[in-house]
Amino acid sequence: MSDGTLASFIEDVCGESHLRVEADLGGGFVRLRSSEAERRQAAQDIRCTEDIVIEMLRNARDAHASAVFVACTRDGNNRRIVMIDNGDGVPAHMRKLVFEPRVTSKLDSMHMDKWGIHGRGMALYSIAVNAESAEIVASQEQGGSAFVIQTNLDKLSEKTDQSTFPKFDLGESGTVSVRGPKNIMRTACEFSIESRATCQVYLGSATDIAASLYALGLSSITAEARNQAGGVDNLPICQRLAATTNPAQFAEVAAKLGLEMSERSARRIMDGQIAPLAPLLARISSALAAQQNSDEQPSIKVSNKHEAKDARGLKIAQNDAAVFANDIQAAFRNLARDYYLQEDVEPTIRVAKDALHISIPLIKLR
């Protein structure tokens, strides 16, 4: 047997192409194995962090979630996404199987939206193929789920600008268009607008999300229900933090949901020092109202040549305005904590002829 024939034989029996090809049809054509075709499709379905976020949000919506909490953190080139919902939940024996291809709960139905068809049983598989890890860390049938996805940004990129909050335009027909970097925040905002009739989305850090879950739980769980549950782990996912009795237990339960934090942060949440987030739809409505008020301001007319010389306009670049707004928001937090006001509000900045107008909504905590 010649060297060339031997090499071909080894490749046919043991090579990678043998694992990828079901049949050689001749003339340069092959029939791929299902696993190889699925792997190639997964690489196209998920190309960035934002793709993971939208697929996870659609997954929660299709599980009949009315509230979805998204915690995004970054450590160097490692991105961590925790998504918690109050949807249908996943049975214990299915928690790993749902990340395999063609596994779906939608045998007789699919969901068509602006991002395409959802319900093929490929979304979670595609995420798992492209992420470093993907798992369900907590779930309860009819009680919600908690997913944790970790990615390497060297392998799966995302938009560089993750701090800019998008801009919104309200059309004459009532439709809302979104502008700005196509980052995680914009992705979540677009989904919030699309699913506004059925689903509310909360997006922030791990402590922000924990504070929001705590507030939601306190408003929805009674002492009787807490006692009858027979333990925190028997409660619906979104109510578990509200059933904790001390910071150590709070941090422990949060970690089980994928929300990593110190006991000090847990204590601040329980003491009401970290305010819950407003749903993205409320923030979008606030931004639209502020823009509408700004558009209704009367224009300044120049009455003579002397005034015309000093009537120079000022236009602040969008990125600079966003950075300035973030600085204002950070400065406002200390005042808000002292006077029991909601910290995470969006300041409105408007440039007039001779002044820069800054408006900060005052929302009193209960």
pLDDT in tens, 203-232: 999 999 999 999 999 988 887 877 777 789
Q: Are residue 190 and residue 246 in the same domain, yes or no?
A: yes
Q: Are residue 351 and residue 222 in the same domain, yes or no?
A: no
Residue 242 DSSP one-character state: G
pTM of the model: 0.71
Average pLDDT over residues 3-10: 52
Q: How far apart are CA 291 and CA 121, in angstroms?
A: 41
Tokens of 24: 């050689």
**More confident site: 145 or 172:** 145
Please measure the distance between the N-terminal and C-terminal CA atoms of the chain and give it in whole angstroms. Answer: 84
CATH of the domain at 187: 3.30.565
Q: Are residue 99 and residue 223 in the same domain, yes or no?
A: yes
For 274-300, the pLDDT digits (tens) are 999 999 999 999 988 887 776 655 443
Torsions phi, psi of 140, nearest 5? -145, 130
Tokens of 220: 């929805």
**More confident site: 228 or 200:** 200
Residues 6+ apart with CB under 8 A from 154: 77
Q: Is residue 20 part of a domain?
A: no
Q: pLDDT above 90 covers what percent of the chain?
A: 51
What are the residues facing 78 on neighbouring strands? 75, 152
Q: Is residue 305 part of a domain?
A: no
Q: Are residue 58 and residue 150 in the same domain, yes or no?
A: yes
How would residue 302 be classed by pLDDT, with cut points 50, 70 and 90? Answer: very low
Torsions phi, psi of 363, nearest 5? -115, 115
Q: What is the pLDDT of residue 46?
A: 87
**Greatest mean pLDDT among 120-129, 215-224, 244-253:** 244-253
Q: What is the pLDDT of residue 305?
A: 43
| 137, 257 Cβ separation under 8 angstroms | yes
| 23, 31 Cβ separation under 8 angstroms | yes
Q: How many CB atoms lie within 10 A of CB 218?
A: 13
Q: Are residue 239 and residue 341 in the same domain, yes or no?
A: no
The mean-pLDDT minimum among 160-164, 182-186, 244-248, 319-323 falls in 319-323
> What's the distance, CA 208 to chain centroid?
13
Q: Is residue 99 part of a domain?
A: yes
Tell me how many domains the chain contains: 2
Q: How far apart are CA 232 and CA 249, in angstroms?
A: 10
Residue 51: is its pLDDT beyond 50?
Answer: yes
> Using only C-alpha atoms, what is the Rg of the chain?
25
Q: How many CB atoms lie within 10 A of CB 301?
A: 7
Give the amino acid at 301: K
**More confident site: 258 or 102:** 258
Q: Are residue 83 and residue 218 in the same domain, yes or no?
A: yes
Alpha-helix residue ranges (DSSP H) falling in 178-246: 184-194, 206-220, 223-229
Q: Is residue 259 part of a domain?
A: yes
- Domain hosting 132: range is 43-270
